[in-house]
Structure 1
Amino acid sequence: MNTTPKAYPIGTPGTPWGEAERAEWLSRQTRQRSYESEVLSKIEGLRRRFDVEEYGLLEYGADRYPLLAIRSHDWREDLPVVLVTGGVHGYETSGVHGALQFVDQHAADYTGRVNLLVAPCVSPWGYERIHRWNPNAIDPNRSFCDDSPAEESAALMRLVAAIRDRALLHIDLHETTDTDESEFRPALAARDGKPFSPNGIPDGFYLVGDSENPQLEFQQAVIAAVEQVTHIAPADDNGEIIASPVIARGVIQYPLKQLGLCASVTSAPYKTTTEVYPDSPRATPEQCNAAQATAVCAAIDYALEHR
Structure 2
Amino acid sequence: MSEPLPYPIGTPGVRWGAAEIAQWRAGQSRQRRYDVDVLPRIDALCAQYDVMQYGQLDYAPDVYPLFAIRNRAWDEALPTVLVTGGVHGYETSGVHGALQFLEQAAGAYAGRANLLVLPCVSPWGYERIHRWNPQAVDPNRSFRADSPAPEAAAVMALLAPLRERVVMHIDLHETTDTDETEFRPALAARDGIDYQPGEIPDGFYLVDDSDAPQPAFQQAIIAAVEQVTHIAPADARGEIIGSPAVADGVIEYPLQRLGLCAGVTAARYRTTTEVYPDSPRATPAQCNAAQVAAVCAAIDYVLAAT
Shorter-chain TM-score above 0.5: yes
Residues 22-58 of structure 1, C-alpha deviation per residue, up to 9 Å, x if partnerless?
Answer: 0000000000000001001100011000000000000
Q: Structure 1 CA distance, aligned partners of 2:3 and 2:28?
A: 22
Q: 2:224 — aligned with what?
A: 225
Q: Structure 2 CA distance, aligned partners of 1:214 and 1:281?
A: 32
SS at match of 1:273: strand
1:233 deviates by 0.2
Q: 1:29 — aligned with what?
A: 28
Q: 1:15 — aligned with what?
A: 14
Residues 88-124 of structure 1, C-alpha deviation per residue, up to 9 Å, x if partnerless?
Answer: 0000000000000001101010000100000000000
Task: Count residues in correspondence.
Answer: 305
1:70 deviates by 0.3
Query: 5 Å matches for 1:118-157?
Result: 118-157=117-156
Q: Structure 2 CA distance, aligned partners of 1:66 and 1:277?
A: 28
Equivalent residues of 1:94, 1:175 under 8 A apart:
yes
Q: Is the counterpart of residue 93 in structure 1 residue 89 in structure 2?
A: no
Residues 193-238 of structure 1, C-alpha deviation per residue, up to 9 Å, x if partnerless?
Answer: 0001111100000000000111001101100000000000000000
Q: Structure 1 CA distance, aligned partners of 2:271 and 2:184?
A: 22
Q: Structure 1 CA distance, aligned partners of 2:21 and 2:137?
A: 10
Q: 2:71 — aligned with what?
A: 72
Equivalent residues of 1:16, 1:190 under 8 A apart:
yes
SS at match of 2:285: helix
Structure 1: stretches of 5+ with no match in the other structure: none
Instruction: Give the TM-score, by structure 2 length.
Output: 0.99
1:155 deviates by 0.1
Q: Structure 1 CA distance, aligned partners of 2:305 and 2:72?
A: 25
Structure 2: stretches of 5+ with no match in the other structure: none
Q: 1:187 — aligned with what?
A: 186
Q: Structure 1 CA distance, aligned partners of 2:230 and 2:134?
A: 34
Q: 1:176 — aligned with what?
A: 175
SS at match of 2:220: helix
Q: Structure 2 CA distance, aligned partners of 1:128 and 1:4?
A: 32
Equivalent residues of 1:91, 1:131 under 8 A apart:
yes
Q: 1:82 — aligned with what?
A: 81
Q: 1:244 — aligned with what?
A: 243
1:78 deviates by 1.1
Query: 5 Å matches for 1:159-174?
Result: 159-174=158-173
Q: Structure 2 CA distance, aligned partners of 1:226 and 1:198?
A: 28
Q: 1:262 — aligned with what?
A: 261
1:5 deviates by 4.5
1:161 deviates by 1.0
SS at match of 1:256: coil
Q: Structure 2 CA distance, aligned partners of 1:154 and 1:5?
A: 35
Residues 216-268 of structure 1, C-alpha deviation per residue, up to 9 Å, x if partnerless?
Answer: 01101100000000000000000000100000000000000110000011111
1:4 deviates by 7.2
Residues 270-295 of structure 1, C-alpha deviation per residue, up to 9 Å, x if partnerless?
Answer: 00000000000000000000000000
Q: Structure 2 CA distance, aligned partners of 1:16 and 1:192?
A: 5
SS at match of 1:67: strand
SS at match of 2:16: coil
Equivalent residues of 1:4, 1:182 under 8 A apart:
no
1:62 deviates by 1.0
Residues 253 and 4 of structure 1: CA distance in aligned 2, closer, same or farther (over 3 Å): farther
Q: 1:55 — aligned with what?
A: 54
Q: Structure 1 CA distance, aligned partners of 2:258 and 2:208?
A: 13
Q: 1:6 — aligned with what?
A: 5
Q: 1:304 — aligned with what?
A: 303
- Quote the sequence identity (%): 69
Q: Structure 1 CA distance, aligned partners of 2:32 and 2:239?
A: 34
Query: For structure 1, which segment, 68-77 or 173-182, has the greater mean C-alpha deviation from structure 2 after superposition?
Result: 68-77
Equivalent residues of 1:5, 1:182 under 8 A apart:
no
Q: Structure 2 CA distance, aligned partners of 1:199 and 1:234?
A: 15
